[in-house]
Amino acid sequence: MTQRLAARPGIQEPVGPSAEAGNSWLSGRRLRLLVIVAVVGGIGLGYYFAAADGASAIRALFERPVVCEIGPVVTLDPFIVNLSGTRGERYLKTVLSLELTNARAAGAIEPLHVSIRDAIIAILSAMTLEEMEAPSAKEVLKQRIVTRANEIIGSPLVVRVYYQEFVMQ
């Protein structure tokens, strides 16, 4: 076994493949590269905190409540329709609410209430049992109702449809 003398007389350190293998990964170029990356990363983070008002910007990002503004909602009377292709044996009962863009839209759709209701009945009764059992059926149905209601109104006043009840029998 080869031994090397240490800086102080009388102390010997073993030198060999096992002693050098432990330090070879963080030696020379890799160590310098690691230090440079750490310094540049620290400078970047420091600049970000200084430019973005530091921790208060991050705190505000996480403390800010997420508020979703909902327009006026008009709830329609219950719908009870036979599903298509079931020979009257299966039916759908649902109560829908329409979210509108603003308060004036509620007054604008009031004269068209009967037309919108008729269109919704046509959409619901045209659905088959197989279509209604699909995983995305309720979302597709919502989109059809929004599209058709806005066509009747003549402008995009209906934003969303909400189900208050949804029962298939």
Domain boundary among 63, 95, 114: 63
pLDDT exceeds cutoff 70 at 100: yes
Residue 92 sits in the same domain as residue 161 = yes
Question: Coil, strand or helix: which one is 78?
Answer: coil
163/88 same-domain check: yes
Range of the domain at 14: 3-63
81-to-91, 121, 155, 166 alpha-carbon distances in Å: 6, 7, 27, 12
3-state secondary structure labels for all residues of 13-47? EECCHHHHHCCCCCCCHHHHHHHHHHHHHHHHHHH
Residue 48: the pLDDT is 72
The three-state secondary structure class of 12 is strand
Q: How high is the pLDDT of residue 164?
A: 94
pLDDT tens figures, 37-96: 889 888 887 777 666 566 666 666 667 666 678 889 999 999 999 998 888 888 999 999
Average pLDDT of the residues in 108-115:
90
Structure tokens at 33: 């590269």
Say yes or no: 163 and 111 in one domain: yes
pLDDT of residue 165: 94
130 & 53 share domain: no
Q: Which two tokens stand for residue 86?
A: 């079931």
Q: Per-residue pLDDT averaged across 5-10, rounded?
A: 55
Q: The domain that contains 155 carries what CATH number?
A: 3.30.479.30
Most confident of 63-72, 105-114, 118-127: 118-127
Specify whether 88 is located in the same domain as 51: no
123-155 pLDDT per residue, tens: 999 999 898 888 899 999 999 999 999 999 999
Same domain for 119 and 148? yes
For the residues 26-36, what does the mean pLDDT come to? 82
Domains: count for the chain: 2
The token duo for 53 is 């008002």
How much is the pLDDT for 43? 84
Same domain, 21 and 77: no
Residue 85 lies in a domain: yes
Last residue of a domain, one of 63, 92, 110: 63
- Contacts of residue 92, defined as CB under 8 A and 6 or more positions apart, other chains included, come to 79, 80, 81, 82, 83, 124, 127, 132, 166, 167, 168, 169
Residue 31 lies in a domain: yes
Task: Supply the pLDDT for residue 22.
Answer: 53
Tokens 């759908």 correspond to: 92
Is residue 93 domain-shared with residue 129, that is, in the same domain?
Answer: yes
Report pLDDT digits (tens) over 40-57.
888 887 777 666 566 666
pLDDT at position 117, please? 95
